[in-house]
A and B are shown apart, each in its own frame.
Chain A
Amino acid sequence: MAWPSTRSPGAGRPEREYEKVAAPKKGRNASAQSRPGRSLALILIAIAALTGGMFASGQTTPRLGIDLAGGTSITLTAQNEPGQPNAINKTNMDTAVDIMNRRVNGLGVSEAEVQTQGSDNIIVNIPRGTNSKQAREQVGTTAKLYFRPVLATDVSGGKASATPSPSASSSSSATTGDKATSSSSSSATPSASATTQGRVVSDALKAGSSPSASSTPSTSASASSSAAPSASAGTDPAAAKLQAQYATLDCTNKAVRAKAGTGAKSTDPTVACGQDKNSSGQWQKYILGPAEVAGTDVKKSGAVFDTQTGAGWKVTMDFTSGGSKKFAAITGKLAQNQPPQNQFAIVLDGQVVSDPSVAQSLSGSAEISGSFTQTEAQDLANMLNYGALPLTFHESSVTTVTAALGGEQLHAGLIAGAIGLALVIIYLVIYYRGLSIIAIASLGVSAILTYVLMALLGPAIGFALNLPAVCGAIVAIGITADSFIVFFERIRDEIREGRTLRPAVERAWPRARRTILVSDFVSFLAAAVLFIVTVGKVQGFAFTLGLTTVLDVVVVFFFTKPLMTILARKKFFAEGHSWSGLDPKRLGAKPPLRRTRRASAPVDTKEA
Chain B
Amino acid sequence: MSKLGTLGARLHRGEIGYDFVGKRKIWYGISILITITAILGLTVRGLNMGIEFQGGAVFTTTTKSQVSVTQAETFAQEASGHDAVVQKLGNGGLRIQIAGIDTDKSDAIKEKLATDLKMNPEKINADLVGPSWGDQIANKAWEGLAIFMVLVVIYLAIAFEWRMAIAALVALIHDITITVGIYALVGFEVTPGTVIGLLTILGYSLYDTVVVFDSLKEQTKGITKQTRWTYSDVADRSINSTLVRSINTTVVALLPVAGLLFIGGGVLGAGMLNDISLSLFVGLAAGAYSSIFIATPLVADLKEREPEMKALRKRVLAKRAQAAATGESLEPETSEPSYDDFEDATPAVVGPRNQPASRSRGRGRPSGKRR
Q: Which chain A residues have a beta carbon within 8 Å of chain B's beta carbons?
A: 4, 18-19, 22-23, 25, 67, 75, 77, 118, 121, 133, 136, 140, 394-402, 404-405, 408-409, 412-413, 415-421, 423-424, 427-428, 430-431, 433, 467-468, 471-472, 474-475, 477-479, 481-482, 485-486, 489, 492-493, 496-497, 507, 510-511, 514-515, 518-519, 521-523, 525-527, 529-530, 532-538, 541-542, 545, 581, 586-590, 593, 596, 600, 603-604, 607-608
Contacts and interface: CB of A to CB of B under 8 A. Distances in A.
Counting from the closest, the 10 A-B pairs by CB-CB distance are A420-B256, A588-B9, A526-B203, A478-B253, A419-B259, A420-B259, A396-B133, A533-B144, A416-B263, A19-B352
A468 B196 contact: yes
Contacts of B245: 485-486, 489
A519 B200 contact: no
B249 A485 contact: yes
A397 B263 contact: no
22 contacts: A140-B103, A397-B129, A399-B125, A402-B62, A412-B264, A416-B260, A416-B262, A420-B255, A420-B257, A420-B259, A430-B1, A478-B255, A478-B257, A482-B249, A482-B253, A526-B203, A527-B203, A534-B141, A534-B144, A537-B193, A541-B276, A545-B203
Contacts of B141: 534, 538
Given A400-B125, A604-B355, A535 B263 contact: no
Interface of B: 1-2, 4-6, 8-10, 12-13, 52, 60, 62-63, 91, 103-104, 106-107, 122-130, 132-133, 136-137, 140-141, 143-144, 147-148, 151-152, 155, 159, 192-193, 195-196, 199-200, 202-204, 206-207, 210-211, 214-215, 218, 241-242, 244-245, 248-249, 251-260, 262-264, 267-268, 271-273, 276-277, 280, 337, 340, 343-344, 347, 350-355, 358-359, 362-363
Given A538-B140, A538-B195, A607-B362, 5 more contacts: A398-B128, A402-B122, A496-B13, A510-B352, A535-B137
A593 B358 CA distance: 19
Name which of B244, B249, B255, B354 has the most chain A CB atoms within 10 A of its CB. Answer: B255
A522 B195 contact: no
B27 to A, nearest CB: 23
A521 B155 contact: yes
The B interface, classified by DSSP as helix, strand, loop or mixed, is helix
A431 B207 CA distance: 22
A420 B251 CA distance: 11
A404 B207 contact: no
A475 B256 contact: yes
A526 B351 contact: no
Nearest to A607: B358
Contacts of A529: 144, 147-148, 151
Contacts of A413: 263, 273
Name which of B4, B13, B133 has the most chain A CB atoms within 10 A of its CB. Answer: B133
B91 A541 contact: no
Contacts of A416: 256, 259-260, 262-264, 273
A306 B152 CA distance: 55
Given A399-B128, A427-B255, A525 B151 contact: yes
B351 to A, nearest CB: 6
A431 B13 CA distance: 20
Contacts of B277: 471
B207 A515 contact: no
B132 A77 contact: yes
Contacts of A596: 337, 340
A475 B263 contact: no
Name which of A22, A409, A534, A587 has the most chain B CB atoms within 10 A of its CB. Answer: A534
Nearest to B7: A588
A588 B130 CA distance: 61
Contact of A468 (B104, B124, B256, B276): B276
A534 B192 CA distance: 11
A522 B155 contact: yes
Nearest to A439: B252
Contacts of B60: 405
A588 B359 contact: no
A530 B146 CA distance: 11
B17 to A, nearest CB: 14
A404 B151 CA distance: 42
Contacts of B155: 4, 521-522, 525
B273 A588 contact: no
Contact of A530 (B127, B144, B210): B144
A589 B347 contact: no
Contact of B256 (A402, A477, A519, A541): A477
Given A518-B159, A525-B155, A530-B144, A468 B355 contact: no
Given A424-B252, A526-B203, A600-B359, A118 B140 contact: yes
A421 B347 contact: no
